[in-house]
Amino acid sequence: MYFRGNIHKEREKRFIIDSNQEYNKVVNSMYTYKKSISMGYADTVTKVREELKKEGFGVLTEIDVKQTLKTKLNVDFDEYIILGACNPPYAYQALTAERDIGVLLPCNVTVYTQAGKTYVSAILPTVQLGKVGNPELTPIAEEIETKLKKAVDAVAKE
């Protein structure tokens, strides 16, 4: 059982803050793996697609959040895209182990700008699938997470 204080300590471990109190290259939450990227937004989106493909993921869904918010609410928002990434062999394994797991698929990866900086963020499948409580999903989630982190890290190296 986690007490509130333990959650805050764990969260602190996941953050690296530089001397200016701004987020450094690695800025993670309890459920995402996130990197600040030196490339511009459009180049980052292209590079994310390439790196996901290298790790066996296809992009099944794409939501342009900026455009959607402009169209539906007539509000301006920073560049923001949600890519639904699927690795078919792992999706098959997960669906075989837990038929209802489809409600948690695909794995979302976001690219967005904030305060003039570009970020890539990927869901942590160990957290997402860990909530299900099926131990058969643990090794699948760990392998998917490794691949997603590898893709994000490759984009951040550019």
Amino acid at 154: A
pLDDT at residue 29 in the model: 76
Maximum pairwise Cα distance, the chain:
48
Burial class (CB in 10 A: 0-12, 13-18, 19+), 6: exposed
Query: CA angle, 141 as apex, 31 and 106 as ends, to 5°?
Result: 75
Write the DSSP assignment of 112-150 as a string of letters: EEETTEEEEEEE-HHHHHHTT--TTHHHHHHHHHHHHHH
pLDDT at residue 158 in the model: 79
The average confidence (pLDDT) of the chain is 87
DSSP 74: -
Does residue 117 contact residue 158 with C-beta atoms inside 8 Å? no
- Is the pTM value of this prediction over 0.75? yes
pLDDT at residue 4 in the model: 46
In the CATH hierarchy, which top-level class contains the domain 33-157?
alpha beta
What is the residue whose two structure tokens read 């570009």?
118
Q: What pLDDT digit, counting tens, does each position of 95-153 carry?
A: 999 999 999 999 999 999 999 999 999 999 999 998 999 999 999 999 999 999 999 99
